[in-house]
Amino acid sequence: MWALYAAGAVIAALFLIAVIPLRLSAKYDADGFALAVHAGPVSVVCIPSKKKKKIKARPKEKKAPARPPRRELARVLLEVIKKIPGEVNVDRLHVRYIAAGADDPFKAALSYGGGYALKGMIAAFLENTFRKVKDFEYESAVDFQAEENSVTASGQLSMRVWQAAAIAPKILVLLTKSKTDSRNISRKER
């Protein structure tokens, strides 16, 4: 009889773990990029948003990198998102774009219009890729005293733990593929 109780407890625990919400929060602003993963009440900061101190290094021979790591990671993430439609929700996405117009107001007006065109592209991408988009806000403004354009963004994606477990093999396959592709490219360049 104790074996049945133990088996029932294990099944109940697995069920509870499977329905725990898994959230990914990201933020980008002038301070940098921050990324955190929240699983139920547990929160883990993956990438802190701290400014790095610039260290002067000796000039070295420049080697042509195969692919920049950030661009490679973004490409892999986009491929993963395309392969998992209907499993990820966008809980919140807030984007603020400020066009600078200190030196040329005409250029600032064009940039402002381009910012709103970007809103349409982002909204179409979200609606076609994710199952549900709960809160999407986009704001574009012109600052005639700023010297350069600025973008701030924050967002949160959510899914269940069992969905993340189903996605994990796809992510691993894409990451290993991208690493072997970048190694092959770097060997060809030599």
* Per-residue pLDDT tens over the stretch 30-39: 888 888 888 8
How far apart are the C-alpha atoms of 133 and 57, rounded to whole Å? 45
pLDDT confidence bin for 52, thresholds 50/70/90: low
Mean pLDDT of the chain: 78
User: Which segments of the chain does DSSP mark as H helices, in order?
Assistant: 2-18, 69-83, 105-129, 161-189
pLDDT confidence bin for 177, thresholds 50/70/90: confident
Would 127 be classed as within a structural domain?
Answer: yes
Would 170 be classed as within a structural domain?
Answer: yes
The pLDDT score that the predictor gives to residue 156 is 92
* Residue matched to tokens 């993956």: 46
Backbone angles phi, psi at 153, to 5 degrees: -150, 145
- For residue range 85-99, list pLDDT tens digits in order: 567 788 999 999 998
H or E element, residue 50: none
Would 80 be classed as within a structural domain?
Answer: yes
Q: Is the pTM of this model over 0.75?
A: no
Would 58 be classed as within a structural domain?
Answer: no
Number of structural domains found in the chain: 1
Would 57 be classed as within a structural domain?
Answer: no
pLDDT above 90: residue 14:
no
